[in-house]
Amino acid sequence: MLAVVALMVIFRVPMVWIEGIALTITAFFFLTMTWLNLHGIAHGAGVWPSLLWGGLVYLLAYILLPPKQAYTFAWRYYLLLLLGGLVALQYDRNPDALEGEQLSDTLQILLSNLGYLWVSRVLVAFGLRAEADRAQALQMQKLVDTDALTGCLSRRRFLEELRQLLERGEEGALILFDLDNFKQINDTYGHPTGDLVLMRSVKRILHNLREEDRLGRLGGEEFGVLLPGVGLEEAAQLAERLRRALEAPGSEGPNATASFGVTLFRKHDSVGELFDRADRALYEAKQAGKNRVICSPI
């Protein structure tokens, strides 16, 4: 087995194949040893010490396979061991051998493997529970980190990512934007239509962002964009592109425009100071007539 695994590693065979081959060789070895031992017991032999390690097959299955597959493999393995063992016991058997100590040895082998099978079932149950707990934890984390309506970052997660950028001293820019006259859209067309406008706006914004950029919903119709490694001029150009994307006509609800405030990270900025500058620029854009981009002075 070691030679086969070594060759597979040398030739860069996928790890999942290596694990499968290792498990198959181990299972075949112990099946063969068990059948031969049971055949020997039928002729007066005792239990071979090597079979004390037979539980490794069940343990390896649990380690190398997903929980449900591990248990399926385990009970099929035991079924093969049991059926093959019964054949081995009967094949050319000495009619006077399988009694007393020999019978005890046979039961010891078959029942110990049944015990290993039960233990593997317990391990699989714990594994499935752990998988469910991990999935639930991930789902809960996703609910905390993601805005339920639009799918972009929640306010808490957005602020956390901004705080991390500032703590690392990275350069970048922050854009705040607010949909213009959104309350009027809700009052005129209803909140379901307003939700469609929000989702459409987020979709258009994400289409224009890089993979490393972050979009967060800060509350209501207000959003923020984090642009790591971007200068003020580039951020202003992106904000203008986003503004044009949002004002373009669409089939999902009425047209909507947005006002933008842009600011650059400064050395030793706090989250509050950065937000204040971007918010003042956004307020100026609103006061100047909306649907425009205003940059905060560096």
Encoding tokens for residue 195? 């939700």
What SS3 string covers 235-256? HHHHHHHHHHHHHCCCCCCCCC
Does residue 259 contact residue 286 with C-beta atoms inside 8 Å?
A: yes
Encoding tokens for residue 71? 């248990």
Does residue 165 contact residue 172 with C-beta atoms inside 8 Å?
A: yes
Closest by CA position to 59, among listed 17, 138, 110, 115: 115
Give every CB contact of residue 257 below 8 A, 6+ residues apart in sequence.
179, 180, 181, 243, 246, 247, 290, 291
Q: Respond yes or no: is residue 221 known to be catalytic.
A: yes
Marked catalytic residue, from 19, 221, 222, 233? 221
At residue 69's C-alpha, the angle toward residues 113 and 128, to 5°, is 95
Give every CB contact of residue 249 below 8 A, 6+ residues apart in sequence.
255
Give every CB contact of residue 204 below 8 A, 6+ residues apart in sequence.
242, 245, 246, 248
Q: Is 156 helix (H, G, I), strand (E, B) or coil?
A: helix
By annotation, the residues acting in catalysis are 221
